[in-house]
A and B are shown apart, each in its own frame.
Chain A
Amino acid sequence: MSARPAEGHTPAGHYRFRHIAGMEWIKLRSLRSTWWTLAITVTGAVAIGVTVGVNTRNAAGDLTNNALAGMVPGLLLAGVLGVLTMTGEYTSGMIRATLAAVPRRSRLLTAKAAVFGVVMLAAGEIATFVSFFAGGLALRHGIAAPSLGQPGVLRAVILSGTSFCLVGLLGLGLGAIVRHTVAAVTVLVGGVYVAAQFAGVIARAAFGYMPILIVANSLSTTRPEPCGSGTGGCPHFLSPWAGLAVLCLYAAVALGAGGWLFARRDA
């Protein structure tokens, strides 16, 4: 290092969103676990779509919804990856280096959520489009594959692809609130999976608001899903756009609460 004045050395301006986002992107991509988790999540979703396609015998069913059946199990890994993106900072101690570089905490969390959200959106859309085409190709028994031009199909494929992003951000927010990996994953699994099993028993109307049921019965459908074996749209399921809005709301509430706590608590 050369001799230098003790003051007035720093470059002009100040750090911007792109600097924070750049750091978060390098952090995300420089962990092998990120790529493993994404690869397993996408491959698993596609494999389930293909399996359902091979075994489909009812040509009158919602074939798009069938092809996208792998998205719901994939939500778990998307949510856990979101949790780990935040709690990993605390368990490793990295949070101290992160905050030394970017002490403005709400900006930091915004950039982290933006980078993670974009990556998960890309992963989700890849998973849904590949599932849709692979699931269609896997159809047997003379059933024709659905096409993106049919009513509601493109909407179902695109909206289902947002679910990894939105549940991932829900996980990220929970991670910021709870800060411990195991506790945050427990809350995530409890809220996203287990609560859905009980909600229907306690209050029928609450059923449609459960994240996995929104993905299964609202986002990924080309037409309103019937309840059980009944016919016609089930009144308890949200419409695709209402379902998307509710999932966005969950993610926003978790991130908002997490950001509020993150800015106020000792790191």
Chain B
Amino acid sequence: MIEASGLTKRYGATLAVDGLSFGLRPGVVTGFLGPNGSGKSTTMRLIMGLDYPDAGTVTVGGQPYRRLRWPLSEVGALLEAKTFHPGRSARGHLLALAAAGGIARSRVGEVIGMVGLETVAGKRAGTFSLGMAQRLGIAAALLGDPAILLFDEPVNGLDPEGVRWARNLMRSLAAEGRTVFVSSHLIGEMALTAERLVVIGRGRLLADTTVSELAARAGGSLEDAFFDLAGESVEFRAGDPPGPGADAAGLRPGRGRS
């Protein structure tokens, strides 16, 4: 459903995504795991056509995002930062998107109900807490009932109940046959939500596998397996200044679990 091939993106001197190739399949939640600053959000932006890659391609259902006929009915995305105007109500925001997507107005009320924003739908979205903003973003992603869903750090700002709700939502979306791609830097959350994993460090692919296979590499601990991978990505670039990957590697000696 989503195919990235040799995806590369540079911002000035920083290589954010470096020759990244992976494919996503429908029917499972695929976790997109990596330390902060490893290129997850950039990859999401490249999939959506918000940023242009310096090299490589990424397609959605065989086409670049910009060629999609009804983008909101094909891909739903919750991006990392806020994506609504603070002066507009949640309902107004969703009605505007529905108009662009040729989506019935009644669907706006449905998705507002699905994310539990009924009581605040008429309020200006600028007054929302981070958790409410995340729910509005999820409502926008669900608006077109798309077969592909991208969630960039969806549990940010959600309370424990919200985290569980988001996890169940993502799993049920995948169970309906959709392609669900969820980025997170929270290993434990990924272990509970995802079946497959795409692991990146410093913009490079470290693993494209299942959660159980990756955990088995470190005797059943997904966390240990992740730090092993992240450590390798640092060793690969010995001599670079310490980045998030180096922090991960720095934690390794203290763990010693097996």
Instruction: Give the B-binding residues of A (Cβ under 8 A).
Output: 1-7, 9-11, 13-15, 19-20, 22-27, 30-33, 88-89, 92-94, 96-104, 264, 266-267
Q: List 19 A-B contacts (CB under 8 A).
A: A1-B114, A1-B173, A10-B74, A11-B70, A11-B102, A13-B69, A15-B70, A19-B101, A23-B96, A23-B100, A26-B95, A31-B88, A92-B86, A97-B93, A100-B48, A102-B71, A103-B49, A266-B45, A267-B50
The reply to whether B147 and A14 form a contact with Cβ atoms under 8 Å apart is no
Give the distance to chain A from B41, nearest Cβ to Cβ, in Å.
11
- The CA of A11 and the CA of B142, in the complex, are separated in Å by 16
Interface size on B, residues (CB 8 A): 50
Partner of A15, one of B1, B69, B92, B147: B69
Cβ-based interface call for B235 (8 A):
no
* Chain A residues with CB below 8 A from B147, complex form: 4-7, 9
CA gap between A14 and B74 in the complex, in Å = 12
Once bound together, how far apart are the Cα atoms of A208 and B68, in whole Å?
A: 47
**Contacts of B81 on A, CB cut-off 8 Å?**
93, 96
B178 CB–A CB distance under 8 Å: yes
| Contact status A23-B86, CB under 8 Å | no
**Contact present for B71 and A267 (CB under 8 Å):** no
Contact of B88 among A5, A27, A264 (CB under 8 A): A27
Q: Indicate which residue in A13, A30, A101 contacts B92 across the interface (CB closer than 8 Å).
A: A30
- CB of A97 within 8 A of CB of B68, answer no
Tell me if B33 counts as interface (CB < 8 A to partner A). Answer: no
Q: How far is the CA of A218 from the CA of B145 in the complex (A)?
A: 54
> Which residues does chain A contribute within 8 Å of B86, judged by CB atoms?
92
Q: A6-B147, A30-B89, A96-B50 are in contact. Are A14 and B83 (CB under 8 A)?
A: no
Inter-chain contact B71/A103, CB cutoff 8 Å: yes
Shortest Cβ distance from residue B93 to the other chain A in the assembled complex, whole angstroms:
7
A101 to chain B minimum Cβ distance, whole angstroms, is 4
Residues of the B chain whose Cβ atoms lie less than 8 Å from the Cβ of A88: 85
Most chain B beta-carbon neighbours within 10 Å: one of A11, A103, A267: A103
Q: What is the CA–CA distance of A101 and B89 in the complex, to the nearest angstrom?
A: 18
Does residue B219 face the partner (Cβ distance < 8 Å to A)? Answer: no
- Does the CB pair B145–A23 fall under 8 Å? no
B128 within 8 A of A: no
